[in-house]
Amino acid sequence: MSHLALIVYNFLLILGLFLLFPLWVGYLALVPKARAGFWEKLGHYPPDLLSRLNQRIPGKKRVWFHAVSVGEFNAIRTLIPELKQEFDVVISTTTRTGHDLVQRTFPDLPVLYFPYDFRAVIQKVLDTVQPDLVVIAETELWPNMVDMTTRAKHLPLLLINGRLSQHSYRGYRWIRFLIKPCLRQISHLYIQSQADAERFKQLGGLSPEQYTVAGNLKFDLTPTVDPTKRAILKHLLNIQDDDTVLTYASTHSGEDLPLVETYIQLKKDFPELKLILAPRHPERLPEIKTILNSKALSYAVRSQLSENNPNQQPIVVLDSIGELLTVYSFSRVAVMGGSFVEKGGQNPLEPLSQRVPVIFGLHMHNFAEISRMVLEAQAGYQVKSQQELANAVTGLLTQPEVHDIVAEHGQRLIENNRGAKEIIGSAIRRYLI
């Protein structure tokens, strides 16, 4: 990275911290999730984590994977089981939900919070972790992290499952003087699609030798549902084999009310229809309860259910992490949140993997390529309004043959687009062996 660009970036970083410090302190004080991993993000680790980081596996090189949150981790998790047998693996995340999910998925691996992008902090963390290779998922570009890893430490840095939506591209253009040198310092970029590659090229002036269009790792993830956990969750939610379940998955603020109104409309034609409403952020539970109460709807909250106190209501608010895939496995239709407000949507591949047709709104820019492929494969529907959503759900519920065809198209779409795992796994091995 150019010396001038780094000077400007670090000046703005320190200036912003100085000017916004009171607001930042207030935010940390008022928002518990913002405080998650605060000291780790400054490079200060608890003794047990520090001990695990210091226990290098003899004869094995260390690879540090970074995934911002749940979505990014779900993409790279398909790589971890094999690679951790060959190498010493460390994983970092930025969010608390991502951190908790990684710990539950790989309890045998060190899991840390990604550091704040101050040079002294990055230096301390790199000295502590001592990776031989750093691998970043999707589009997490921090100038000091990139520069310290590649130029100061002379370590290879890979960007995998890279994506750059048109929405993100427009934002990054404003700081192109920082992003362009970042991209050029990365050892190699493994990008999801040709459209993403074109935007990366326009932003960073990449040559063909600097990137590979490898496909999307999320197609290689073959999520399986534990039968025992499925049976327990079905009991807790009081789901019977012949129940019709509609799932609103990973909803964001601003879309719950119209989605709930659509459910009320559907209940007129399908009185036995059950709803599982899963907010993207469980801390939004009070907001959702207010909406449901305003409509005089009876509901239960997942965290308040137990073996002796299972659900007795037609609606369950899923305020838990890591159970949505299991919920898909007994759903009839999945409606993807984040797509009815300008949040960019959620990944539709997980419900498709469980043979569940998907429906999403107009705002799928975070999954533009996947959503395009879903529509082309006729594995789901995109709707523009509440009425179109109600019509699409009605069609799937009243026409079993159409439902099964759409579900089969989803299975075929996933099978036909596997392969990124082998390409990226081989690349990682080349840098470490």
pLDDT in tens, 129-188: 999 999 999 988 899 999 999 999 999 999 999 999 888 888 888 888 888 989 999 999
DSSP H or E run through 259: helix 256-269
Tokens linked to 230: 């499925």
Question: How far, in Å, CA of 105 to CA of 114, rounded?
Answer: 18
Counting every residue written for the chain, the total comes to 433
Is residue 399 very low, low, confident or very high in pLDDT (cuts 50, 70, 90)?
A: very high
- Helix ranges (DSSP H) in 106-246: 119-129, 143-147, 166-172, 176-185, 194-204, 227-237
Question: How far, in Å, CA of 128 to CA of 21, rounded?
Answer: 27
CATH 3.40.50.11720 domain extents, the chain = 3-220+418-432
Mean pLDDT of 282-304: 97
pLDDT for position 276:
98
Question: How far, in Å, CA of 164 to CA of 63, rounded?
Answer: 24
Mutual angle of helices 285-294 and 256-269, in 10-degree steps: 40
pLDDT for position 1:
61
Q: Does position 103 have pLDDT exceeding 90, yes or no?
A: yes
3-state SS, residue 151: helix
Q: Amino acid identity of 8?
A: V
* Spatial contact of 146 and 186, defined as CB atoms under 8 Å apart: yes
Question: How far, in Å, CA of 408 to CA of 276, rounded?
Answer: 23
Q: Is the domain defined by 227-411 classed in CATH 3.40.50.1370?
A: no
Q: What φ, ψ does residue 60 adopt, rounded to 5°?
A: -115, 135
Mean pLDDT of 225-250: 96
Within 8 A by CB and 6+ apart from 281, the residues are 97, 252
CATH architecture of 3-220+418-432: 3-Layer(aba) Sandwich (3.40)
Beta bridge partners of 251: 279
